[in-house]
């Protein structure tokens, strides 16, 4: 189970189960280039009328988006897939019954699976674990704090099922028909109560608190093989190696960080700014819940210094939805993509603004009580261009407060690589990155977690 895999010929399938979309790529194992890619929105959010803090998604809809992606890939190349790498949104949790978490179907010569006896996915955005509740939990033996939306905190709420993991761990378990879910240190650390130095769960601490430790997955090395496909899947042969699921953030960084002087700004639904720590770095013994910087496990015992913001592309999405709802109150129907395009166009025509928008709309893990605000309002800066420019600037300046440019320089950072769907499709955000951070900025095209996880398993020896 802890073995690695080498894909010297054929293709590597990379799968990224993101918060808003599912992406897949095919990487040619010999040329190490992406030959095919596909992405579909999952549209899997579940609205809760009883608790506005609940953030859950329907795994069936996520799997349906994965099916759409797989169906769009060339069938002749899928037959030549030698290994599969899976990554996805971290921190969250889904529960299922071992050996019966899915049903395999064969239709029109296509073999696929659909979820069965599976809970909703409680995502990293879930806010039901209040500060009082979190303070009642035992202190972890870890350098990382426990926050609402983290898997172990959520499990305290759920104690009925027999297996648990992230959504990407679920997919790996179903593909391999595993008796017990396996998890890498990357995803385990995102749950809380995991010591990255010893690579072990805080089992005794959790037992003493009445935690159902039988739900904890088996930990394997990042880059290890979890198992092999138990069935043909979309033409991919049975017995194809499947890597243990990785964190989407780490895979995104892996796809584009090529030099120790690189920092990576990844912005999709949320946002992260990161750089690699020296090889000899060891994280502190206990967490600093007030620090905006955490240390995420990477590969081969190394760590990334990460400023992980809850406020990224979701801030712009909220802004778009607000304008959409306002227009509907006036009886106007404009689709959200048109609104977004007009916002960018207006902001590009407004290269500067004195309007100030702080964009901690969803709070931050190190400061849950923070919120958004607007200041320096005047009659001359209320145009759509001014407001959009100020929102984009606020998103980037929020990142700079968490990881200031001087901290990057002190760490030896010489350039910033921009990645993530929210950044790649928003020229205004790109301009603000270049304004706020005094480094050369490279905006990578074809940089994503799906490509990264394929690269990881193509590079294993």
What range defines the domain where residue 338 resides? 257-443
Q: What is the rounded distance in angstroms from the CA atom of residue 294 to the CA atom of residue 145?
A: 9
Judge whether 240 lies within some domain: yes
Tell the residue number behind the tokens 């300046």, with chain if given. 397
Q: How many domains, the chain?
A: 2
Do 221 and 263 reside in the same domain of the chain?
A: no
Do 68 and 51 reside in the same domain of the chain?
A: yes
Beta-bridge partners for 28: 11, 33
Judge whether 5 lies within some domain: no
pLDDT of residue 162: 61
Helix (H, G, I), strand (E, B) or coil at 154: helix
CB 30 within 8 A of CB 82: no
Confidence band for 161, pLDDT divided at 50, 70 and 90: low
Listed in order, strand segments (DSSP E) in 209-312 are 218-220, 225-228, 241-243, 246-247, 262-267, 271-276, 293-297, 303-309
Do 101 and 186 reside in the same domain of the chain?
A: yes
pLDDT of residue 445: 54
Tell the residue number behind the tokens 């040329």, with chain if given. 31
Do 179 and 43 reside in the same domain of the chain?
A: yes
pLDDT of residue 2: 43
Assign residue 218 the CATH number of its domain: 3.30.420.40
Judge whether 4 lies within some domain: no
Listed in order, strand segments (DSSP E) in 240-346 are 241-243, 246-247, 262-267, 271-276, 293-297, 303-309
Listed in order, strand segments (DSSP E) in 123-261 are 163-165, 182-184, 194-195, 200-201, 218-220, 225-228, 241-243, 246-247
Kindly report, residue by residue over 86-131, the tens digit of the pLDDT.
Answer: 999 988 888 888 777 899 999 888 999 999 989 889 888 887 777 8
pLDDT of residue 126: 82
Tokens of 122: 């409680």
Q: What is the rounded distance in angstroms from the CA atom of residue 93 to the CA atom of residue 89?
A: 10
| 50 or 399, higher pLDDT | 399
Give yes or no for residue 3 having a pLDDT over 60: no
Judge whether 1 lies within some domain: no
Q: What is the rounded distance in angstroms from the CA atom of residue 12 to the CA atom of residue 223?
A: 14
Chain mean pLDDT for the chain: 90
């Amino acid at each position: 189970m802890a073995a690695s895999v080498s894909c010297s010929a054929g293709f590597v399938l990379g799968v990224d189960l993101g918060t808003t979309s599912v992406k897949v790529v095919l990487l040619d194992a010999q040329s190490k280039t992406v030959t095919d890619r596909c992405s579909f929105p999952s549209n899997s959010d579940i609205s809760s009328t009883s608790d506005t803090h609940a953030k859950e998604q329907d795994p069936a809809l996520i799997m349906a988006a994965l099916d759409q992606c797989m169906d769009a890939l060339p069938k002749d190349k899928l037959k030549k897939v030698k290994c599969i790498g899976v990554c996805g949104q971290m921190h969250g949790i889904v529960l299922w019954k071992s050996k019966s978490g899915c049903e395999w179907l064969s239709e029109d010569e296509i073999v696929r699976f659909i979820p069965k006896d599976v809970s909703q996915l409680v995502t990293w955005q879930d806010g039901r674990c209040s500060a009082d509740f979190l303070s009642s939990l035992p202190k972890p033996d870890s350098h990382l704090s426990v926050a609402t939306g983290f898997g172990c905190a959520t499990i305290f709420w759920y104690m009925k099922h027999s297996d648990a993991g992230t959504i990407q761990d679920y997919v790996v378990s179903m593909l391999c028909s595993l008796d017990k879910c396996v998890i890498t240190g990357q995803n385990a650390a995102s749950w809380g109560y995991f010591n990255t130095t010893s690579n072990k769960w805080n089992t005794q601490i959790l037992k003493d608190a009445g935690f159902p430790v039988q739900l904890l997955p088996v930990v394997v090395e990042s880059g290890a093989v979890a198992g092999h496909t138990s069935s043909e899947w979309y033409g991919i042969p049975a017995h194809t190696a499947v890597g243990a699921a990785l964190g989407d953030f780490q895979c995104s960084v892996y796809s584009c960080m090529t030099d120790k002087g690189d920092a990576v700004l990844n912005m999709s639904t949320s946002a992260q700014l990161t750089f690699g720590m020296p090889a000899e770095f060891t994280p502190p013994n206990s967490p600093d819940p007030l620090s905006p910087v955490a240390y995420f496990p990477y590969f081969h015992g190394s760590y990334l210094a990460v400023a992980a913001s809850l406020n990224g592309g979701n801030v712009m999405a909220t802004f778009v939805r607000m304008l959409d709802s306002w227009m509907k109150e006036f009886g106007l129907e404009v689709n959200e993509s048109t609104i977004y395009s007009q916002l960018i166009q207006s902001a590009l025509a407004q290269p500067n603004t004195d309007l100030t928008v702080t964009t901690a709309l969803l709070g931050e893990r190190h400061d849950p009580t923070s919120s958004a605000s607007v200041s320096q309002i005047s009659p001359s800066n209320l145009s759509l261009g001014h407001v959009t420019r100020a929102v984009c600037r606020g998103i980037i300046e929020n990142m700079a407060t968490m990881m200031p440019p001087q901290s990057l320089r002190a760490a030896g950072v010489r350039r910033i690589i921009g990645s993530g769907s929210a950044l790649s499709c928003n020229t205004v955000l790109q301009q603000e990155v270049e304004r706020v951070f005094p480094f050369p900025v490279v905006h990578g095209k074809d940089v994503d977690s799906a490509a990264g996880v394929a690269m990881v398993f193509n590079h294993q020896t």
